[in-house]
Amino acid sequence: MMNNTFICKDLKAELQEYLSSLPHDKLFVLTDTNTQQKCLPLLQDIPAIRNAPLITVPSGDTHKELEQLSFIWSHLSREGASRDSVLLNLGGGMITDMGGFAAAVFKRGIRTINVPTTLMASVDAAIGGKTAVNFNGLKNEIGSFHPPLAVFIDCGFLRTLDKDNILSGYAEMIKHGLISSPQTYASVLALDLNSPPDYTTLNQMVACSVAVKERIVKEDPKEKGIRKALNFGHTVGHALESLSFIKHTPLLHGHAVAAGIICELYLSHKLCAFPMPELSRTVHYIKTHYSPTLFTCNDYDTLCELMTHDKKNEGGTINFTLLAGIGDVRINQTADREKILDSLDFYRESFGI
């Protein structure tokens, strides 16, 4: 256990024990159409969950929006949820983000438990208490801080994932390595993502990645300072993700973040003297394992406009988290439009697009 995060050896036994000791009047389970089919059957024989009302929303980040929030609230209200109820979010980042926000404001706040079923949710979305939905074409535009009571991580769920979803979550682990230490980062780059995953090794790496995030969140729970380190790669990454929604060619979050990491490492090199050998090593690793995120110079104005909506911005200035070296984080950095466009050029040149 790390804080309120459990890296499980026996998910069903540990979750049953926790729920049995938790005072509550009703337990609700939130899934999407994918996790209802693939993951819920693995938990349904847990006595505390067997008769819990089920709320299921369509899968995919494009459904992380107000209409589905209203559906969740209506279901909770119809089934008699109270402030003593608990919502168990079983799914990836879309479910933990949206379920967390739905719970944060329903009756001014009910408790949640996260059971992440994707690598992305296990190492990032389910941890730390950030909740949100997309709005007006912008990623996570409306949200709140609403930490879950507990997070139960079982890498057995990762066996249900395709390679693109493994890669999506691993991008956050690349980020965690970059912002933590050379030793951690070396272990991240040592994993060959083109081979079938070794789930024992991956489980150990997930525990290490979760520890990086929890250490930072504990130090700065409301993102006033060092928690901004966790946004490395995300200023550009979120813009690319939002652009993909606009173009109706949605990217998985981590694939956009992988592209954002390259762009922001370039900015780190230009503005904070991040070493070129480390930049080149990271570009090579991402190129080896990730398909290119496609955009053209005709998209640059839109991307810059999307970056102006980033929640880290202050006074209308685009705010970046950059690195002077691996583990040497520099928050609240600014870059002019020319350098931002140069970073986008660098990404496209690196991938030959």
Residue 2 has what pLDDT?
46
Mean predicted confidence (pLDDT) in 75-103: 97
CATH of domain 5-160: 3.40.50.1970
Q: CATH classification of 163-188+221-351 is 3.30.420.40, yes or no?
A: no
Tokens of 215: 């250490």
Residue 298 has what pLDDT?
98
Residue 284 has what pLDDT?
98
Residue 70 has what pLDDT?
97
Mean predicted confidence (pLDDT) in 287-312: 94
* pTM: predicted TM-score of the whole model, two decimal places: 0.90
For a pLDDT cut of 90, what percent of the chain falls above it? 86
Q: Which of 101, 100, 108 is nearest to 84 (CA)?
A: 108
- Average pLDDT value for the chain: 94
Mean predicted confidence (pLDDT) in 263-279: 98
Mean predicted confidence (pLDDT) in 48-55: 94
Residue 169 has what pLDDT?
96
The residue with greater pLDDT, 199 or 135, is 135
* H-assigned helices in the chain: 11-20, 33-38, 47-50, 66-78, 93-105, 119-120, 163-180, 182-189, 199-219, 234-246, 253-272, 276-289, 300-307, 337-351
Asked if the model's pLDDT at residue 1 lies above 50, the reply is no
Domain boundaries, the chain: 5-160, 163-188+221-351
Confidence of residue 311 (pLDDT cuts 50, 70, 90): confident
Residue 158 has what pLDDT?
86
Residue 3 has what pLDDT?
53
- Among 40-54, 75-89, 168-182, the range scoring the smallest mean pLDDT is 40-54
| Rounded-to-integer distance, Cα 229 and Cα 224, Å | 11
Residue 309 has what pLDDT?
87
Which contiguous run of DSSP H or E holds residue 112? strand 111-116
